[in-house]
Structure 1
Amino acid sequence: MSLYSISDAQLAFGHVALLDHADFSLEAGERVGLIGRNGAGKSSLLKIVAGLAAPDDGLVTRQAELTTVYVPQEPEFDLDASVFDVVASGLTEARALLDEYDAVAHALADTPEGAQHDELLARMNALQSSLDMHDAWNWRTRVATTLAQIGLDGDARTGALSGGMKKRVALARALVVQPDVLLLDEPTNHLDFEGIRWLEDLLVTLRTGLLFITHDRAFLDRVATRIVELDRGRLLSYPGNFSAYQTRKAQQLEVEQVEQAKFDKLLAQEEVWIRKGVEARRTRSVGRIARLVEMRNERAERRNVQGNVKLDVGQGEKSGKIVAELTDVTKRFGERTIVDRFTATVMRGDKIGLVGPNGAGKTTLLKLILGELQPDEGRVRTGTNIQAAYFDQMRAQLDLDKSLADTISPGSEWVEVNGVKKHVMSYLGDFLFAPERARSPVQSLSGGERNRLLLARLFARPANVLVLDEPTNDLDIPTLELLEELLADYDGTVLLVSHDRAFLDNVVTSVFAAEGGGKWREYVGGFSDWQIQRERSERIAEEAVRQSAKEAPKDDLPKDSAAGRNAQRTVKLSFKEQRELEALPARIAELEEEQKTIGAQLEDGSIFAKDAKEGARLSERHAAIEEELLVALERWEELEAKRK
């Protein structure tokens, strides 16, 4: 039986049907990625599953005692509270039961035997059952364990955390509940590469049913065991990850186009027939007329695939061959070094990705390259005839009170792109804004729509250097793919900051990577190439350290170290403990190997499509191994300590 299911669901806002007789179900252990165009209704569906909203019509069923936790895009906290208290707030119900149990216990002690005493005793027994079921007795231990699992300091003040760490707090608050179903809306927002990789590793090992919304294609490929697309009011299911979905979706659209073309051809023939002369109408079939009416209605109700954004960037005059040349550039803010003796050359036509953790200084390096910020040491030489156009991740360039038309072309009804004049209404239409919305204020737009408007504004200006700071936030996947194509064909220079790994791989030709401590290094290729080169460098460095340690003379070892080893040899354990200690390393290695094998099966995700029960069993075994490893390691440390 499914954990949760919706049958024949309908939901509409105004005349737009977000759910049109849609069906959806979620099985135990499944990790479902929910995708669709901006405004398709993904967040609305997530809220329905969370129980925060209801469909206009349709049947919703869920397992009894199902625990569902929803983590929105921008979670809200008490910013003055400690991380421990915020995470513990996820257990409000369990703590309330415990408080009531204590109150009833005190009241019971002060109440003489009788009817009231019996009522209190019955209530106490009911509370005890609920506390056992919710595992509420050790809620503090649960919070502490979850904080350790997520890597959070319980004493830290929530308001002092970065966006990425706040996202971790939100996940910890959800996971401490030990939910049956976890719902995540854009979970990778505010996370850097390390944070995204950490989240992927966490989610692929959870036994929880997972439904999440994201536009991060690499994240979908790694985490999802099934893709569900919300397309024109229908929920379409595709087993496997995002790559498998792309193949099947392309095939489905081809079939749909052929079928619609046949239908339209038949409808056109029937329309010709119905308009024939009087003699033909006398012999008309009543059934044929009824079918024509039905076909007309079906054609009128057809919801065509939403059009794609038409992207075209205004090309400025060519810049000089060298866009920027940095020589031993250093930049500090206070005692912190953001860029330390960095040397690089940016040539015309380069497409460079700036990567690194949040706060590494990517925006600072951008400003140094463009000459907007002067280095403390070193030299920056900016090329000639630079026309830069900026995409700001904070959307600070947008005036929320201005209309869409005034934002694109203030004081004029025309836009000129590559020497071609275009009416502002038509230009906005290229970015999927209907003419009636052209006079609407910017503040009425959603996050994804504001990003599209910013792209429209950016591409309306002639430029030979595009500076894109997190341009992929809130953009749907089709728009992302079109933006990739545009940037790949763009003749000018692109400087790109993004945490979207697939986008970086498909656009950039080299990477400026933050290596820590203000050190930056250039790598040829995209994100994956950088990862491979970085991991290879780390392995070489580790091997060099090991080799130098092997070659160190034994006489260099401290005398007390050798004495310690001799002392260990003289300490005796019991025969049974000695045998146990000798067997533990092999047992630990065996558990780690089993965990690695199961982890690979779970990460692939196909096990859930083939056999959901086996997938759930493997998930449980993966978690059990974690506990067994912890016990084995603690026992090994205990026995080792006895030898000292």
Structure 2
Amino acid sequence: MSLYSISDAQLAFGHVALLDHADFSLEAGERVGLIGRNGAGKSSLLKIIAGLAKPDDGLITRQNELTTVYVPQEPEFDLEASVFDVVASGLSHERELLDEYDVVAHKLADAPSEGPEHDALMSRMNTLQSSLDLHDAWSWQTRVATTLQQIGLDGDVRSGALSGGMKKRVALARALVVQPDVLLLDEPTNHLDFEGIRWLEELLVTLRTGLLFITHDRAFLDKVATRIVDLDRGRLLSYPGNYSAYQTRKAQQLEIEQVEAAKFDKLLAQEEVWIRKGVEARRTRSVGRIARLVEMRNERAERRNVQGNVKLDVGQGERSGKIVSELTDVTKRYGDRTIVDNFTATVMRGDKFGFIGANGAGKTTLLKMILGELAPDEGTVRTGTNTQVAYFDQMRAQLDLDKTLADTISPGSEWVEVNGVKKHVMSYLGDFLFAPERARSPVRSLSGGERNRLLLARLFARPANVLVLDEPTNDLDIQTLELLEELLTDYDGTVLLVSHDRQFLDNVVTSVFASEGGGKWREYVGGFTDWQIQSERSEKIALEAARDTAKQAKKDDGPKDSGAGRNSQRSTKLPYKEVRELEALPAQIAALEAEQKSIAAKLEDGSAFAKDPKEGTRLSERHAAIDEELLVALERWEELEAKRK
């Protein structure tokens, strides 16, 4: 039996049906990812399942004594309370039962040993004891302490002093301490950094509870989901497997749907021609055929077509100088803490850089120094000429909640000019899926995803040659994300991107600035996955080199001709030649990586091909050849390491 199911559900806001005779069920142990366009009704469905809202119609069934916990996008709790007390507030029902049990026990001790009062108190105590046993409430403090330990939280810290990512962990701990049968999560990766997202993925795949979550993080869906449910035009469509499997099946389904719709429209057009024929045809027409035509007209009127995509087009400013920003030995400190330590880098026109680091690592600080908005404590920053910067702020501080959508896009005018083409503000808002009747609505009436869409519309309406995007993917639906990826990939200007969406980084950026702790930053060629592979490989090589150094130091400190030294020589499985080869490989790999990075810098702006096509071709071929050499060297290194062990 399903933990929860809803059949023939209907829910509408105004004239839009969010749920249109929809069916859904959740089995024990399932991890279901709920996806759909912004405003499709995903959060509304989550609240219905949580019991916080009701559908207009539909049959709901759930198992007896089912415990359901809902964690919203922006959890709220007492910021003055300790983390322990916030997490313990998830067990408020159990603690109330325990408090009442203590009160009844004291009354029973003072009551006569016989009589109606004694019997009533004993009956209540037995009921409470059964409930306490059922909910495992006797050891609630141990449950809270264990949950805090599992999630890595300090119970004594004031919750208001925590970062956004740690507050998210507190909200999850408050949910998990309840030991729910069904866990509902709305955008759980918001405010989490890469380590936090990885931690959450590992946590959720080990849970035995039924899980339903909303997210637009495609990598997270691939890792966690065992089934995808797509809320599409009021219907809930189920696809077994992760997001990658869903993409294939969804594309096939839409293709079939388009073919069937085209056939239907063609037949309807033929019937409309027939009904309008002359008098002779009308005398002989079939009553059944007329009835079928009426039915087809109604069916066509009720059809809900796939919602159109956002039409993204960024206003191209004048070309900036070749160098956008040049940082030389810059250092920035806040008190005793070093945020950026002796960092050197150059951002060229057309570069697309991503910023990778934990929350609080200093991504925004480094970004502001690159733009020249923040002076370093040491070192120099030289900003380029003719830079026109457009800024996307994740906190949406640029949006005035009391302004209308039209005034936000084009204050004091009804026209917007993008790349030399004038558009009416209503038409431009339509490109971002805002209906004309909403253009005069205040910004505060929009959902989180719609506000992000509006911010993108405002951003792209202004000419710019440097786009600075701080967490632009939050709350955007997957279709808009993919379109934004395409636009940024084709954009001729410079892009500086802060995002925790791993796939978005992979698809957009060509290099990353990664925090390596202690204020140290390093540039890596490629996206998130490339950084991950390179950094893990560098850590492994550094670790092996440190071990070799320690072994050599230990050997040098010992007696030269001691028996122990001779025994250690005999215990080595590698011949002398291979030992020497193994020692040389880390330096060889590092040299190849440095050469490849140097070639990539020369090829990046295309000037190598313009100056000398043959040299450009040679460099391009050498860049590809280094990939092969690196692969061979790494495989050889792993082979020799395995033999030595």
Give the length in aligned residue pairs: 557
Alignment match, 1:564: none
Alignment match, 1:492: 493
Q: CA deviation at 1:555?
A: 9.8
Residue 310 (structure 1) aligned with residue 308 (structure 2): no
Residue 235 (structure 1) aligned with residue 236 (structure 2): yes
Match runs of 1:442-457 below 5 Å = 442-457=443-458
Alignment match, 2:192: 191
Residue 26 (structure 1) aligned with residue 31 (structure 2): no
Distance 1:322 1:144 in 2: 54
Alignment match, 2:78: 78
Secondary structure of residue in 2 paired with 1:372? coil
Q: CA deviation at 1:358?
A: 1.0
Distance 1:508 1:527 in 2: 9
Alignment match, 2:35: 35
Q: CA deviation at 1:540?
A: 1.6
Alignment match, 1:3: 3
User: For structure 1, which runs of at least 5 residues remain unmatched after alignment?
Assistant: 558-644
Distance 1:288 1:204 in 2: 56
Alignment match, 2:417: 416
Match runs of 1:114-513 below 5 Å = 114-513=115-514
Range with greater deviation from structure 2 (436-445 or 231-240) = 436-445
Distance 2:123 2:23 in 1: 43
After superposition, give the CA deviation of every residue in 1:329-365 in whole Å (9 maximum; x if it has no partner). Answer: 1112222211111111111111000111111111111
Distance 1:146 1:529 in 2: 34
Q: Report the aligned-residue RMSD.
A: 1.2
Secondary structure of residue in 2 paired with 1:11? strand
Paired AA for residue 445 in structure 2: S
Range with greater deviation from structure 2 (363-372 or 214-223) = 363-372
Q: CA deviation at 1:556?
A: 6.4
After superposition, give the CA deviation of every residue in 1:36-64 in whole Å (9 maximum; x if it has no partner). Answer: 00000000000011011111111100011
Distance 1:69 1:556 in 2: 61
After superposition, give the CA deviation of every residue in 1:431-473 in whole Å (9 maximum; x if it has no partner). Answer: 0111111122222211111111111111111111111111111
Range with greater deviation from structure 2 (98-107 or 54-63) = 98-107
Secondary structure of residue in 2 paired with 1:5? strand
Distance 1:555 1:427, change over 3 A: closer
After superposition, give the CA deviation of every residue in 1:517-549 in whole Å (9 maximum; x if it has no partner). Answer: 111100000000001111111112222232233
Match runs of 1:549-560 below 5 Å = 549-553=550-554
Paired AA for residue 101 in structure 1: Y
Paired AA for residue 487 in structure 2: L
Distance 1:404 1:83 in 2: 40
Q: CA deviation at 1:264?
A: 0.4
Distance 1:321 1:219 in 2: 37
TM-score by length of 2: 0.85
Secondary structure of residue in 1 paired with 2:131? helix
Distance 1:308 1:450 in 2: 16
Range with greater deviation from structure 2 (380-389 or 171-180) = 380-389
Q: CA deviation at 1:554?
A: 7.3
Alignment match, 2:90: 90
After superposition, give the CA deviation of every residue in 1:369-409 in whole Å (9 maximum; x if it has no partner). Answer: 11122211111111121111111111111122222112111
Paired AA for residue 209 in structure 1: G
After superposition, give the CA deviation of every residue in 1:6-50 in whole Å (9 maximum; x if it has no partner). Answer: 011111111111100000000000000000000000000000110
After superposition, give the CA deviation of every residue in 1:156-196 in whole Å (9 maximum; x if it has no partner). Answer: 11111111111111000100010000000110111111111
Distance 1:11 1:38 in 2: 16
Paired AA for residue 180 in structure 1: D
Paired AA for residue 87 in structure 1: V
Alignment match, 1:597: none
Paired AA for residue 400 in structure 2: D
Distance 1:369 1:107 in 2: 70
After superposition, give the CA deviation of every residue in 1:128-176 in whole Å (9 maximum; x if it has no partner). Answer: 1111111111111000000000101111111111111111110001000
Distance 2:87 2:556 in 1: 52
Distance 2:485 2:304 in 1: 27
Range with greater deviation from structure 2 (325-334 or 65-74) = 325-334
Secondary structure of residue in 2 paired with 1:204? helix
Paired AA for residue 459 in structure 1: F
Q: CA deviation at 1:245?
A: 0.5
Distance 1:348 1:222 in 2: 36
Distance 1:367 1:27 in 2: 48
Identity of aligned residues (%): 89
Secondary structure of residue in 2 paired with 1:276? coil
Distance 1:271 1:554 in 2: 94
Distance 1:317 1:103 in 2: 76
Paired AA for residue 17 in structure 2: A
Paired AA for residue 505 in structure 2: L
After superposition, give the CA deviation of every residue in 1:297-336 in whole Å (9 maximum; x if it has no partner). Answer: 0100111111100000111111111111111111122222
Q: CA deviation at 1:237?
A: 0.3
Distance 2:118 2:415 in 1: 82
Secondary structure of residue in 2 paired with 1:152? coil
Secondary structure of residue in 2 paired with 1:400? coil
Distance 2:106 2:70 in 1: 36
After superposition, give the CA deviation of every residue in 1:92-129 in whole Å (9 maximum; x if it has no partner). Answer: 11111111112222222222212322222222222111
Range with greater deviation from structure 2 (157-166 or 435-444) = 435-444
Alignment match, 1:56: 56
Secondary structure of residue in 2 paired with 1:6? strand
After superposition, give the CA deviation of every residue in 1:232-260 in whole Å (9 maximum; x if it has no partner). Answer: 00000000001111111000000000000
Secondary structure of residue in 2 paired with 1:516? coil
Paired AA for residue 141 in structure 1: T
User: For structure 2, which runs of at least 5 residues remain unmatched after alignment?
Assistant: 559-645
Alignment match, 2:583: none
Alignment match, 1:602: none
Alignment match, 2:632: none
Range with greater deviation from structure 2 (412-421 or 251-260) = 412-421
Distance 1:400 1:10 in 2: 31
Distance 1:553 1:18 in 2: 70
Distance 1:212 1:343 in 2: 42
Distance 1:122 1:546 in 2: 69
Distance 1:101 1:555 in 2: 71
Distance 1:127 1:367 in 2: 59
Distance 1:373 1:555, change over 3 A: closer
Distance 2:347 2:69 in 1: 47
Match runs of 1:512-591 below 5 Å = 512-553=513-554
Alignment match, 1:574: none
Paired AA for residue 210 in structure 2: G
Paired AA for residue 5 in structure 1: S
Paired AA for residue 403 in structure 1: T
1 or 2 for the larger relative contact order (CA 8 Å, sep ≥6)?
A: 1
Distance 2:307 2:452 in 1: 18
Range with greater deviation from structure 2 (90-99 or 251-260) = 90-99
